[in-house]
Structure 1
């Protein structure tokens, strides 16, 4: 604006200013935890990476994300079984978010129960023994992932498959966008039913033929 220039603040300007104030008043993507309320920890382990998402329900019953973590596995860790990789994801979460675990009860959401896996072992290796000691320090309640319905944040960990050549970083763990690849459609041919049976043939986008037949009851 130039000096001595007249400025007329009409309704449009007033509405724009109110919109800016409302936008600035919105909470950030990562919220602050509410003391005394339990936390929700989602963990996942892919083929070459592990990840975790810490969340908490707000007063409206909606989940706010508090913390993201992810890293690639070392060559030795790549040889772990799927449940051991989940244990590794939980240990990784405890080591990096220990102050949250010390102040809150944590509800653990994952496909399998890593704590029960370690505790059910009659003989513990050195690695499992170290993990067991870390799990016992905090109050962690396991809930199967299938029991959590309508949780959009769970999709981040359940179905977020990163390409192997992506570089993971802890600086901005949530900066990557979902990778979407549109595949050409398949064709399906149905030959009707005869002699209490039916057949279906799929033709893939790579021109592969996949025949299927089944008996009708």
Structure 2
């Protein structure tokens, strides 16, 4: 084997590799790419917007919930009746600039160590972040995953969308799932559903695919890091009610003794507010 001395570096504490900055602290975003985005003016047409999105796609490994943040840009590019830049795009552009000024440092995992996976689901996209635990109080991101939902996937139930993001993450990060036990932190009863003997269809297929990995599920934990805390703040699905419900809006459930703490049966009457 021969090495070209002009292309080799030995005994250095940091350097650029495949477009990333590799340091003793971990994998950092390329400051030149961040500067290029920060110095860009707001696009005035779709061609300039496409140029902006291509620059941001190169940085998606460091951006939590990337697809959600890019939503205004994608919608503007699809709309043939507009010039390509809206106020929503401007707000998203400013938010991304602020985010890029303090991007997290990606860590490398140790062989065989347990990794932790947080899942996030919105009406538009599904996202995940894989974390390693440096100590009981500190978790560092290893990888960010984000995927826009196809039209059919937007009609999945929240449980199916949660299973979808787990399956998507396992496909994209297969080497991590093969080499490490994974703890999924979610408030959805994902493990119980995937292990039900009577599941069918796509949930059954996904359960079979995921069965080759060592995966367990636990309720979500609070995170100290603000960027990670922002990630797990899932958006509620659907439109919020216009006003709080009052006792006049409540339905009443009447039982005749057949339903009680020690047993159950028939004899239930559900009464609407209007009678």
The answer as to 2:86 corresponding to 1:87 is no
The counterpart of 1:130, out of the listed 202, 205, 213, is: 205
Runs of 4+ in 1 over 6 A off after TM superposition: 210-214
Q: TM-score, normalised by structure 1?
A: 0.58
The equivalent of 2:193 in structure 1 is 117
1:156 is aligned, of 214, 230, 233, to: 230
The aligned residue for residue 26 of structure 2 is: 27
On the 8 A contact 2:109/2:142 being kept in 1, the answer is: yes
Contact 1:43–1:53, Cα closer than 8 Å, also in 2: yes
Q: Which gives a bigger RCO, structure 1 or 2 (Cα 8 Å, sep 6+)? A: 1
Cα distance per residue 1:36-56 (max 9 Å; x no partner): 210001111111210000000
The separation in 1 between residues aligned to 2:245 and 2:112, in whole angstroms, is 56
Find out whether 1:139 has 2:195 as its counterpart: no
Please give the TM-score of this superposition, normalised by the length of structure 2.
0.46
Structure number, greater radius of gyration: 1
Shift of residue 33, structure 1, vs aligned partner: 0.7
Match of 1:56 in 2: 132
Return the offset for 1:211: 9.8
Q: Hey, which of these two has a bigger chunk of helix by percent? A: 2
Q: State the Cα RMSD in Å.
A: 2.9
How far is the alpha carbon of 1:115 from its aligned partner? 2.9
Rounded to whole Å, the distance in 2 between the matches of 1:50 and 1:34 is: 27
CA contact (8 A) 1:110 1:143 kept: yes
Quickly say closer, same or farther: Cα 1:133–1:27, change in 2 above 3 A.
same
Measure how far apart 1:109 and its partner are. 0.5
Aligned residues: 142
User: Aligned equivalents of 2:114 and 2:246: distance in 1?
Assistant: 51
Q: CA deviation at 1:73?
A: 0.3
Greater share of strand residues, 1 or 2? 1
User: Are residue 74 (structure 1) and residue 73 (structure 2) matched?
Assistant: no
- C-alpha distance in structure 1 between counterparts of 2:232 and 2:126, whole Å: 11
